[in-house]
Amino acid sequence: MQRLIFVNRYFFPDHSATSQILSDLTFHLAGAAYEVHVITSRQSYDDPQAALPARETVNSVQVHRLTSTQFGRGSLLGRAFDYLSFYRPVGRYLAEITQLNDIIIAKTDPPLLSVVAHFAARRRGARLINWPQDIYPETAAVLGVPLMRGPVGSALVAVRNRCLRQAEATVVVGELMARRVKTLGAPTSRVRVIPNWCNDEAIRPMARQPNALREQWGLLGKFVIGYSGNLGRAHDYGTVLGAAEILRNATDIIFLVVGGGNRFAELRTAAKARGLDGSFRFIPYQQQEMLPYSLSVPDARWLSLNPQLEGLIVPSKFYGIAAAGKPIVVIGDPNGELANLVQDYGCGAVIKSDNSRLLAQVLQNWSTEPQTICTGDARTSNAR
């Protein structure tokens, strides 16, 4: 039987987006009688000291967890050490277990993991499928990571492009990303677009009042505009913070942020410094079984992406939010991937980055409308 070997730094029971997507797919494939292996780390996204079991079988998936440094995501330097210490054992372990004609599927946590997988596949006569969630090192260069715009970055681009050209296939999560990888050398015939997904049996539109979390979080009688998941360096919160200042006296409008990430703490600190504590609620990540309820708390959702990262990143949280059936505000490039989805399906509004006044106006308008489920019928006009 042909074996499928997936490689990613996080896997079940971790709650991060790449872990959840990978876990869903591998469990499905194993249930369909494929022999599935996952090579991952012993960490979890929010707990680098987790020390998950080195070997176990989960839902018929054979999980191989490798040891790496455990600095976590608190600093770029610590994260870099974790990345580097993961590459070497992955390369060695792939070389040990890979057999002729195996298929290796490499995601992009850590960045450029496909390069390690590429050399292991060539050495063992296996086939490689790239499955990038982000395009590196370009993403790192946009975010200002040291060395990524100089000779080191150029060398990494050259190696990465070689992997794109020689891979059996490259599966990307958006149309703009597909265009990007084709310009980087991936043969057009080997590029496939498969958007990320969510568990739409668990996450469904839910009526507002029966949701106990609204009462628990002090949100009864409020219009809630929510964010869920990682709020990282790729995401803009300045537009939202500006809108909250404009709406300072609109005590019926609350900004709910559920999750974590580098900018989660930044936004909380900035809101407090501006005296906007009453306008925000900050809630940590919820257990996966609570996700259907936490995603249904807000009356509307906001997502953002630095416009310079269009074609390099597609926030996967969009699909879970869309499944919850609430209007979505996309903050960023009006011609970006998420903006196009919202406009095509008529499920929200598009706000250009830094237009806090227009965002405040849209939220005021929505807060006075009857609270109905967004079903893709252009409930609101697009705002630019």
User: In order of start, what are the domains of the chain with their CATH numbers?
Assistant: 3-193 (3.40.50.2000), 212-368 (3.40.50.2000)
Q: What pLDDT is attached to residue 199?
A: 76
Helices 356-368 and 238-246: angle between axes, nearest 10 degrees: 60
Specify whether the CB–CB gap between 269 and 194 falls below 8 A: no
The whole-chain average pLDDT of the chain stands at: 90
**3-state secondary structure at position 199:** coil
**3-state secondary structure at position 99:** coil
Q: What pLDDT is attached to residue 146?
A: 87
Stretches where the chain sits below pLDDT 70 are: 206-210, 370-384
Q: Enter the tokens of residue 358.
A: 């227009």
Q: What pLDDT is attached to residue 73?
A: 77
Would you tell me how many other CB atoms lie within 10 Å of the CB of residue 232?
16
**3-state secondary structure at position 328:** strand
CA separation for the pair 185, 188 (Å, rounded):
9
Specify whether the CB–CB gap between 176 and 312 falls below 8 A: no
CA separation for the pair 228, 196 (Å, rounded):
16
Cis peptide before 110 (omega within 30 of 0): yes
Q: What pLDDT is attached to residue 60?
A: 97
Q: What pLDDT is attached to residue 303?
A: 94
Q: What pLDDT is attached to residue 382?
A: 40
Q: Enter the tokens of residue 218.
A: 């002090």
Q: What pLDDT is attached to residue 45?
A: 85
Q: How far is CA 24 from CA 48, 61, 166, 286, 361, in A?
A: 22, 11, 27, 18, 39
Residue 4 CB burial class (10 angstroms; 0-12, 13-18, ≥19): buried
Greatest extent of the chain over all pairs of C-alpha atoms, in Å: 66
Question: Whose CA is closest to 93, among 66, 114, 126?
Answer: 66
pTM (2 d.p.)? 0.89
